[in-house]
């Protein structure tokens, strides 16, 4: 077979620069997500502090803040607070879809900076609300203007969730640990739920000041993001293998070492599946699609005395047209990776010609069989519309949309219900925030269960945890009985709070895992984003449910939600059976 070979010298400093760059970007992503993306879900702590300050405006005479009584100070009735939280949670859930579109249009850098600025503006607004309520107390005034400002502020804070979607592609810098990185980012999202609890600690005067300081930190983080994040939608720096060291350095981008920009002409847009595509031209072979090989950085470190030689050989596969064979990358004579460059083989990305991550045709030159992790709707239906029309995708979106309602509702009423059960000190309300954030430690567990036992089993367990948490809240004792009045009551309450945090973590993680594992990554952004949008629309049902709970009808509402969750059991059985059938067919 005729071959075309080219070599280039790779200095050891380049290996260090690339390793340094990816860890810096991952650290930045974790910081951004953990401080801004899930702030709205710390609502119970913020609600409690707002009602504490608002009640003080009338010397604590208003205790229930119920619409059936006189107007609450600051206009903070339970129904209005429910509407405020619904608006904020909707912007968190649905905003990710629109910010995802913005990322595709304007790039990672601009969209992430916008999300941080919006979150900072919302934080300033919440600080102003605290100051407003304090002034009303001093001047013995009443008014509902604080509610409108609070609603707008929480909506803006919810837009901070766009940072998570924009920064998920950083997983492409860790091709062997993509799942771990994505799980860690999901855990960081949970940790951000502690934000309001931390910001509302301390004396009354610290309320608005702490939010102002926090907003300043977010703006500083936005500046850092502009300096470090790539302008386009991918984090992976493409390599162009040419015939000189100078060209090689230019292809990888020396400016990237100092500014960590990762901007190289021809940088690919397939960010989520970690593919790093670029077109490079060879005088003898014309345009060929290339994929970066994974060079052993530790080996590069140990071989600093000599150059790290990288060779590229393109094999023709028997045809005259270039790019129809295999691209073989070698590191010091050892094979690193072999990738098919054919553009029409099943399981490949139709635009790039590369086998998409998760597809069964992903360049197995050793003829290894599929391990069961491949997508099931990639080769057969290559367009997003075709994948959306499959029964499996429709059922996935239905499950996610049904499950999101009790999950959002739970956060909206947990503070109210715990107060009704006697949690006057706010101990259990604060404990909920810690359980919510602590669930981040279980992030890899759901993925392990999905890999070991299948998505059907994993999704069923996550849904059951959410249902059990709502059931515990529904059975939370009589009015006025504190959840910690006896050891068993306290233990059950803590178990319910913990079950919610772990279950919610599993539901979101498994939804994204299902999209990638069952449908591939070629249309991942569209499929996952549409599901988020549909679930955001469904989550609007939380408002009337929270309002009914505030009116005292909590048992009927919660029993209905638990029933809706349990009625999804046939879907889990069907999905598990489908997975088992596909495994049997492969063997």
Within its chain, how far is the Cα of 328 from the centroid?
34
Confidence class for position 352, pLDDT limits 50, 70, 90: very low
Cα–Cα distance list, 192 to 36, 87, 127, 162, 278 (Å): 6, 18, 18, 13, 36
Longest dimension (CA), the chain: 89
What average pLDDT does the segment 92-115 reach?
A: 87
Complete edge-to-edge strand list for the sheet that includes strand 308-315:
3-10, 308-315, 326-331, 334-340
Confidence class for position 190, pLDDT limits 50, 70, 90: confident
Within its chain, how far is the Cα of 500 from the centroid?
18
Cα–Cα dist 513/507, whole Å: 10
Query: What pLDDT is stored for residue 238 in this prediction?
Result: 53
The owner of tokens 């339970």 is 78
Query: What pLDDT is stored for residue 116 in this prediction?
Result: 95
Query: What pLDDT is stored for residue 425 in this prediction?
Result: 78
398 compared with 356, residue with greater pLDDT: 398
pLDDT for 348 beyond 50: no
Query: What pLDDT is stored for residue 179 in this prediction?
Result: 66
pLDDT for 67 beyond 80: no
Beta bridge partners of 290: 278
Query: What pLDDT is stored for residue 253 in this prediction?
Result: 41
Confidence class for position 445, pLDDT limits 50, 70, 90: confident
Q: Are 158 and 89 in contact (CB under 8 A)?
A: yes
Q: Are 496 and 469 in contact (CB under 8 A)?
A: yes
pLDDT for 224 beyond 50: yes
Q: Closest Cα partner for 150 from 39, 219, 48, 47?
A: 47
Query: What pLDDT is stored for residue 583 in this prediction?
Result: 87
172 compared with 428, residue with greater pLDDT: 428
Q: Are 52 and 120 in contact (CB under 8 A)?
A: no
Residue 502 CB contacts under 8 Å (≥ 6 apart), including other chains: 439, 442, 445, 462, 465
Query: What pLDDT is stored for residue 75 in this prediction?
Result: 67
pLDDT for 280 beyond 60: no
Lowest model confidence (mean pLDDT) among 137-151, 399-413, 474-488:
474-488
Query: What pLDDT is stored for residue 185 in this prediction?
Result: 84
Beta bridge partners of 10: 308
Query: What pLDDT is stored for residue 521 in this prediction?
Result: 66
Cα–Cα dist 554/563, whole Å: 14
pLDDT for 78 beyond 60: yes
Cα–Cα dist 22/501, whole Å: 30
- Strand 3-10 and strand 308-315: pairing? antiparallel
pLDDT for 266 beyond 70: no
Model confidence over 367-403: pLDDT tens digits? 333 444 445 665 444 688 889 999 999 999 999 999 9
Tell me, what DSSP letter sits at residue 35?
I
Lowest model confidence (mean pLDDT) among 234-248, 249-263, 540-554:
249-263
Helix (H, G, I), strand (E, B) or coil at 472: helix
Query: What pLDDT is stored for residue 223 in this prediction?
Result: 95
Burial class (CB in 10 A: 0-12, 13-18, 19+), 360: buried
Cα–Cα dist 582/339, whole Å: 26
Confidence class for position 317, pLDDT limits 50, 70, 90: very low
Cα–Cα dist 555/192, whole Å: 30
> Phi/psi class of residue 509: alpha, beta or left (left: φ > 0; alpha: ψ in -120 to 50)?
alpha
CA atoms within 13 A of residue 184's CA, in its CB half-sphere: 17
CA dihedral sign of residues 186, 382, 293, 371: positive
Model confidence over 394-425: pLDDT tens digits? 999 999 999 999 999 999 899 888 888 877 77
pLDDT for 536 beyond 80: yes
CA dihedral sign of residues 419, 422, 424, 426: negative
What average pLDDT does the segment 331-354 reach?
A: 39
Query: What pLDDT is stored for residue 380 in this prediction?
Result: 47
Cα–Cα dist 351/523, whole Å: 12
- Strand 308-315 and strand 277-282: pairing? unpaired
Q: Report pTM.
A: 0.67
pLDDT for 331 beyond 70: no
567 compared with 381, residue with greater pLDDT: 567
Cα–Cα dist 124/167, whole Å: 24
Query: What pLDDT is stored for residue 377 in this prediction?
Result: 60
Query: What pLDDT is stored for residue 395 in this prediction?
Result: 96
Q: Closest Cα partner for 137 from 53, 224, 16?
A: 53
Query: Can you read off the two tokens belonging to residue 294?
Result: 């994974």
Q: Closest Cα partner for 115 from 167, 166, 162?
A: 162
Q: Are 345 and 356 in contact (CB under 8 A)?
A: no
pLDDT for 271 beyond 70: no
Query: Can you read off the two tokens belonging to residue 29?
Result: 């992503």
Lowest model confidence (mean pLDDT) among 12-16, 447-451, 503-507, 515-519:
12-16
Lowest model confidence (mean pLDDT) among 176-180, 205-209, 259-263, 405-409:
259-263
What average pLDDT does the segment 332-357 reach?
A: 38
Tell me, what DSSP letter sits at residue 125?
H
Return the domain boundaries, the chain: 19-56+77-236+383-478+485-581
430 compared with 364, residue with greater pLDDT: 430
The owner of tokens 């993306």 is 37
Within its chain, how far is the Cα of 46 from the centroid?
23
Q: What percent of the chain has a predicted confidence (pLDDT) above 90?
A: 25
pLDDT for 71 beyond 60: no
User: What CATH number should be reported for the domain whose range is 19-56+77-236+383-478+485-581?
Assistant: 1.20.1250.20
CA atoms within 13 A of residue 182's CA, in its CB half-sphere: 24
Q: What percent of the chain has a predicted confidence (pLDDT) above 70?
A: 63
Q: What are phi and psi of 84, to 5 degrees?
A: -65, -45
Lowest model confidence (mean pLDDT) among 70-84, 132-146, 169-183, 288-302:
288-302
pLDDT for 19 beyond 60: yes
pLDDT for 324 beyond 60: no
Q: What are phi and psi of 279, to 5 degrees?
A: -95, 125
pLDDT for 88 beyond 60: yes
Q: Closest Cα partner for 36 from 134, 121, 147, 144?
A: 121
Confidence class for position 277, pLDDT limits 50, 70, 90: very low
């Amino acid at each position: 077979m005729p071959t075309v070979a080219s070599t280039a010298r790779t200095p050891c400093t380049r290996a260090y620069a690339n390793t340094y760059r990816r860890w810096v970007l991952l650290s930045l992503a974790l910081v951004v997500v953990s401080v801004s993306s899930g702030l709205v879900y710390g609502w119970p702590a913020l609600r409690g502090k707002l009602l504490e300050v608002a009640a003080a405006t009338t010397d604590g005479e208003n205790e229930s803040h119920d619409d059936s009584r006189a107007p609450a100070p600051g206009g903070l009735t339970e129904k209005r607070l429910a509407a405020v939280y619904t608006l904020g949670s909707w912007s968190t859930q649905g905003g990710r879809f629109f910010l995802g579109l913005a990322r595709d249009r304007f790039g990672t850098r601009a969209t992430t900076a916008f999300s941080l600025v919006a979150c900072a503006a919302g934080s300033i607004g919440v600080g102003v609300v605290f100051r407003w309520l304090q002034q009303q107390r001093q001047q013995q005034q009443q008014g509902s203007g604080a509610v409108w400002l609070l609603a707008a502020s929480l909506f803006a804070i919810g837009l901070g969730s766009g940072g998570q979607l924009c920064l998920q592609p950083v997983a492409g810098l860790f091709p062997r640990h993509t799942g771990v990185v994505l799980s860690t980012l999901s855990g960081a999202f949970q940790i951000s739920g502690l934000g309001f609890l931390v910001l509302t600690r301390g004396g009354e005067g610290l309320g608005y000041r702490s939010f102002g300081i926090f907003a300043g930190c977010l703006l500083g983080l936005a500046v850092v993001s502009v300096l470090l994040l790539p302008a386009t939608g991918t984090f992976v720096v493409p390599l162009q293998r040419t015939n000189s060291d100078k060209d090689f350095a230019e292809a990888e981008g020396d400016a990237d070492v100092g500014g960590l920009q990762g901007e190289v002409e021809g940088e690919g847009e397939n960010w989520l599946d970690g593919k790093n595509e670029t077109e490079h031209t060879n005088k003898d072979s014309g345009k060929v699609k290339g994929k970066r090989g994974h060079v052993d950085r530790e080996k590069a470190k140990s071989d600093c005395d000599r150059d790290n030689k990288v060779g590229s050989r393109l094999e023709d596969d028997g045809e005259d047209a270039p790019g129809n064979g295999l691209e073989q990358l070698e590191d010091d004579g050892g094979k690193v990776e072999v990738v098919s460059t054919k553009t029409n083989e099943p399981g490949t990305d139709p635009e790039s010609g590369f086998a998409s991550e998760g597809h069964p045709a992903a360049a197995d030159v050793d003829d290894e069989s599929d391990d069961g992790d491949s997508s099931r709707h990639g080769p057969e239906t290559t367009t997003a519309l075709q994948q959306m029309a499959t029964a499996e995708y429709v059922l996935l979106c239905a499950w996610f949309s049904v499950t999101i309602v009790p999950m959002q509702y739970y956060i909206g009423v947990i503070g109210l219900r715990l107060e009704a059960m006697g949690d006057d000190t706010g101990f259990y309300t604060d404990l909920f925030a810690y359980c919510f954030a602590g669930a981040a430690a279980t992030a890899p567990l759901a993925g392990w269960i999905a890999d070991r036992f299948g998505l059907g089993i994993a999704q069923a367990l996550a849904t059951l945890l959410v249902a059990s948490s709502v059931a515990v809240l529904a059975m939370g004792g009589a009015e006025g009985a504190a959840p910690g009045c006896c050891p068993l009551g306290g233990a059950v309450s803590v178990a319910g709070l913990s079950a919610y945090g772990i279950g919610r973590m599993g539901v979101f993680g498994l939804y994204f895992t299902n999209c990638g594992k069952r449908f591939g990554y070629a249309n991942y952004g569209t499929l996952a984003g549409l599901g988020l949008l549909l679930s955001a629309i469904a989550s609007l049902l939380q408002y009337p449910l929270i309002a009914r709970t505030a009116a005292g009808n909590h048992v009927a509402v919660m029993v209905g939600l638990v029933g809706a969750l349990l009625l999804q059991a046939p879907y889990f059985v069907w999905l598990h059976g489908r997975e088992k059938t596909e495994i049997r067919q492969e063997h």
